[in-house]
C-alpha cells in the first residue's frame, strides 16, 4: 500500500434527488424521493430532507410513502443524470488518467498517476479544488475521501457526507477502523454480517483479533483471507481506468401481472430492442442472450442461448429472446421481464448478418428504423418520451407559459409547475392531457453554459 493519501474517492451527495432539487426551485430544502412510482416501485435516491423520515434507497416505494407522505415523488430522468455525470467524470479525468467510475455518481481517482498529488497537503488541496469545480460546473455537491487505498478512501468519503472532505493520514488507519462496525468493510453484507455476529464478531477490531485461520473457517478461504487483510487496513487494489462490463441488461417490473401471452411476447421484443440500444451506446456486442422472468408467485426463471459469435443486431437478439420465452410457462402471469446480453466483446462478427436475415425473414432482413440507436435513455420506457405519457418530474414546454415540469397527472388532466433552474419557484397550472400547446421537453442545464474557460483557470 502506498504511503501517501493519493487515492481519491468521490461520491456525489444524494445525486438523483439533488439534481432534481437543483432543477426545480420549488423543491429546494424539501423532501424529494426519486424512483419507481408504481405499487412495486423502489426508491432510487432520497434527499437528505427525506432521509430524516427514515427513507433510504432500495426501500419499497409504498413504505416510503407511509414514512414521508408529503414528500415530492418523481420518476428518474436518467438521461439528465448521465449528462451531469459526464461533466463530473470530465473534471476527474483532468486530474489523472486513472479514473475508475463505479456508477454515475461515484468514482476512484489515482491522483499520483496524474501528478495531481504526491503528499498529504497536495492531496488535500486537490480535493478542495475538485469540490469547488464540481459545484461551479454542475451546481451540485460531492463528498471526497482521500487515503492511501481504495477501501479507506471510500470509508473517508462516507464520513465526509454530505458536502465534505475527509483525509485519512497514513499510520492512523488501524486506530480509525478498529471500533467501526464489521459491515464497514467491503464484502461484509447482511449475510456475512449475521454470520460474524453469531460468532461474536461485530467490529473491525474483533475481526482482526479473531485471526486469519478463524475467519477462513467461518467464511471460507478466499473470503476469510480478504476480510482479514482489510481488517488490518491492507488493500493493494489499483485504480483501474476501464472497468470491464460483464453483461448489459434491461428489465421492467409491472404494476399488474401480465397474463396475455401475446402481450408478454411484445414486452420481450421491446426489452430486446432497449438492450441492443444500450449495447450500441457502449460500443459493445455479445454472444449470450439471457431472458429473465419473475412469475406471479415471485419465482424467477432465467433462460440463455449462446450464439456463434458476438452480435449487436436487434433482429438476432429479438429472435433469440422469443425462442427462450417459448420454454417458459407464463400461464399464472408475470410481474417482471428482463433481457440481457453477456459474453461481451468490442466487435461484431460479420457472418452474423446472415443469422439476422434468417431471424427476420427474407422480407425483413433490412433493419427497421426504430431499432437504430436512439437518444432516449435506455432506463426509461419509450412511452415517457413519446405518446405524451406525462411522468411526474419530467420536463415539458407550453407555448404560452414556457418551460416547466410535471407535478402529476390523472383523470385526463396534467398539473405543471412552470419554473427553471435559475428562476424563482414557479406557478402551478393544470391542462388537459391532450392539450396541443403542451409537449415534452429536454431538461435545462443546472448551470448556464458559458463559452469562457473552465473554473480551474481562475
What does the H/E/C string look like for 298-352?
A: CCEEEEEEEEEEEECCHHHHHHHHHHHHHCCCCCCCEEEEEEEEEEEECCCCCCH
The C-alpha cell 423543491 sits at 27
The pLDDT value recorded for residue 9 is 97
Average pLDDT over residues 73-81: 91
DSSP string for 234-269: ---PPP-SSPPP-EEEEEEEEEEEE--HHHHHHHHH
Hey, how many other C-beta atoms are within 10 angstroms of the C-beta on 341? 29
pLDDT at residue 350 in the model: 34
Q: Using 50, 70 and 90 to split pLDDT, how confident is the model at 189? A: confident
- pLDDT in the model for residue 360: 35
Burial group, residue 452, by CB count within 10 angstroms (0-12, 13-18, 19+): exposed
Confidence category of residue 245, pLDDT binned at 50, 70, 90: low
Residue 368 confidence class, pLDDT cut points 50, 70, 90: very low
Q: Which of 456, 447, 343, 440 is nearest to 397 (CA)?
A: 440
pLDDT band at 388 (very low <50, low <70, confident <90, very high): low
**Which comes out higher in pLDDT, residue 332 or 167?**
167
Bridge partners, residue 72, by sequence: 32
Residue reference for cell 449475510: 191
Residue 1 confidence (pLDDT): 62
For residue 454, pLDDT beyond 80: no
pLDDT score recorded for residue 110: 96
DSSP code of residue 57 = T
Which residues neighbour 195 within 8 Å (Cβ) at sequence distance 6 or greater? 218, 219
**What is the reported pLDDT for 359?**
39
**pLDDT on residue 243:** 60
- What burial class does residue 121 get, using C-beta atoms within 10 Å of its C-beta: 0-12 exposed, 13-18 middle, 19+ buried? exposed
Q: How many CB atoms lie within 10 A of CB 297?
A: 9
CA 321/CA 328 separation, integer angstroms: 11
What pLDDT is attached to residue 194?
87
Q: Over the stretch 132-142, which tens digit does the pLDDT of each residue have? A: 999 999 999 99
Q: How far is residue 135's CA from residue 141's CA, in Å, rounded to a whole number?
A: 6
Q: Which residue has the higher pLDDT, 376 or 26?
A: 26
Compute the mean pLDDT over every residue in the chain, rounded to the nearest whole number: 85
Q: What residues pair up with 408 in beta bridges, in sequence order?
A: 415
Cell matching residue 51: 432521509
Which of the residues are catalytic?
106
For the stretch 390-442, pLDDT in tens is 999 999 999 999 999 999 888 899 999 999 999 999 999 999 999 999 999 99
Do 131 and 141 meet the contact criterion of CB atoms below 8 Å apart?
yes
Question: What confidence tier does 244 reach under pLDDT thresholds 50, 70, 90?
Answer: low
- The residues, ordered by sequence, that sit 6+ positions from 119 with a Cβ below 8 Å of its Cβ are 4, 6
| Among 110-114, 130-134, 342-346, 409-413, the least confident range | 342-346
More confident call, 258 vs 285:
258
Who has greater pLDDT, 304 or 31? 31
pLDDT at residue 385 greater than cutoff 80: no
Angle at CA 79, nearest 5°, toward 421 and 129?
60
What distance in Å separates the CA atoms of residue 403 and residue 31, rounded to the nearest whole number?
A: 23
Cell of 272: 430486446
Compute CA 95 distance to the chain's CA centroid, rounded to the nearest angstrom. Answer: 23
Residue 351 confidence class, pLDDT cut points 50, 70, 90: very low
Other Cβ atoms closer than 10 A to 150: 23
Question: Grid coordinates in use for 144?
Answer: 471526497
321: phi > 0 → left, psi -120 to 50 → alpha, else beta; which? alpha
Residue 356 phi/psi, 5° resolution?
-65, -40
Q: Tell me the CA distances in angstroms from 120 to 98, 150, 156, 292, 402, one per residue in order.
A: 19, 16, 14, 48, 50
| pLDDT at residue 143 is higher than 90 | yes
Supply the pLDDT for residue 450: 60
Share of the chain above pLDDT 90, in %: 60
Q: What is the pLDDT of residue 242?
A: 67
pLDDT value at position 296? 82
Amino acid at each position: 500500500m502506498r504511503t501517501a493519501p493519493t487515492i481519491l474517492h468521490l461520491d456525489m451527495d444524494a445525486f438523483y434527488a439533488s439534481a432534481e432539487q437543483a432543477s426545480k426551485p420549488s423543491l429546494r430544502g424539501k423532501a424529494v424521493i426519486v424512483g419507481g412510482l408504481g405499487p412495486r416501485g423502489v426508491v432510487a435516491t432520497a434527499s437528505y430532507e427525506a432521509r430524516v423520515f427514515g427513507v433510504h434507497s432500495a426501500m419499497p416505494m409504498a413504505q416510503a410513502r407511509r414514512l414521508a407522505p408529503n414528500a415530492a415523488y418523481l420518476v428518474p430522468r436518467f438521461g439528465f443524470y448521465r449528462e451531469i455525470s459526464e461533466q463530473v467524470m470530465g473534471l476527474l479525468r483532468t486530474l489523472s488518467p486513472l479514473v475508475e467510475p463505479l456508477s454515475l455518481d461515484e468514482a476512484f481517482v489515482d491522483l499520483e498517476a496524474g501528478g495531481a498529488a504526491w503528499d498529504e497537503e497536495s492531496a488535500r488541496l486537490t480535493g478542495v479544488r475538485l469540490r469547488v469545480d464540481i459545484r461551479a460546473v454542475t451546481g451540485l455537491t460531492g463528498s471526497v475521501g482521500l487515503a492511501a487505498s481504495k477501501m479507506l478512501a471510500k470509508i473517508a468519503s462516507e464520513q465526509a457526507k454530505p458536502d465534505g472532505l475527509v483525509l485519512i493520514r497514513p499510520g492512523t488507519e488501524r486506530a480509525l477502523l478498529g471500533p467501526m462496525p464489521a459491515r464497514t468493510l467491503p464484502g461484509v453484507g447482511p449475510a456475512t454480517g449475521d454470520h460474524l455476529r453469531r460468532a461474536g464478531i461485530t467490529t473491525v477490531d474483533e475481526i482482526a483479533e479473531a485471526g486469519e485461520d478463524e475467519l477462513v473457517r467461518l467464511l471460507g478461504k478466499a473470503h476469510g483471507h480478504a476480510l482479514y487483510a482489510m481488517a488490518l487496513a491492507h488493500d493493494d487494489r489499483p485504480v483501474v481506468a476501464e472497468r470491464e462490463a460483464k453483461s448489459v441488461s434491461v428489465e421492467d417490473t409491472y404494476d399488474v401481472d401480465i397474463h396475455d401471452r401475446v402481450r408478454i411476447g411484445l414486452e420481450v421484443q421491446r426489452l430486446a430492442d432497449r438492450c441492443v440500444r444500450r449495447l450500441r451506446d457502449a460500443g459493445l456486442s455479445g454472444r449470450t442472450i439471457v431472458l429473465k422472468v419473475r412469475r406471479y408467485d415471485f419465482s424467477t426463471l432465467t433462460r440463455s442461448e449462446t450464439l456463434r459469435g458476438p452480435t449487436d443486431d436487434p433482429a438476432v437478439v429479438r429472435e433469440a429472446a422469443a425462442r427462450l420465452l417459448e420454454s417458459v410457462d407464463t400461464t399464472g402471469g408475470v410481474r417482471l421481464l428482463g433481457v440481457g446480453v453477456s459474453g461481451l466483446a468490442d466487435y461484431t462478427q460479420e457472418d452474423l448478418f446472415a443469422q439476422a436475415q434468417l431471424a427476420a425473414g427474407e422480407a425483413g432482413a433490412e433493419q427497421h428504423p426504430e431499432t437504430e440507436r436512439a437518444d432516449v435513455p435506455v432506463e426509461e420506457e419509450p412511452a415517457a418520451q413519446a405518446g405524451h405519457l406525462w411522468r411526474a418530474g419530467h420536463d415539458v414546454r407550453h407555448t404560452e407559459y414556457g418551460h416547466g415540469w410535471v407535478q402529476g397527472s390523472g383523470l385526463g388532466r396534467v398539473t405543471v409547475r412552470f419554473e427553471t433552474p435559475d428562476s424563482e419557484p414557479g406557478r402551478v397550472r393544470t391542462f388537459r392531457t391532450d392539450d396541443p400547446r403542451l409537449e415534452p421537453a429536454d431538461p435545462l442545464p443546472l448551470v448556464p453554459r458559458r463559452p469562457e474557460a473552465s473554473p480551474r483557470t481562475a
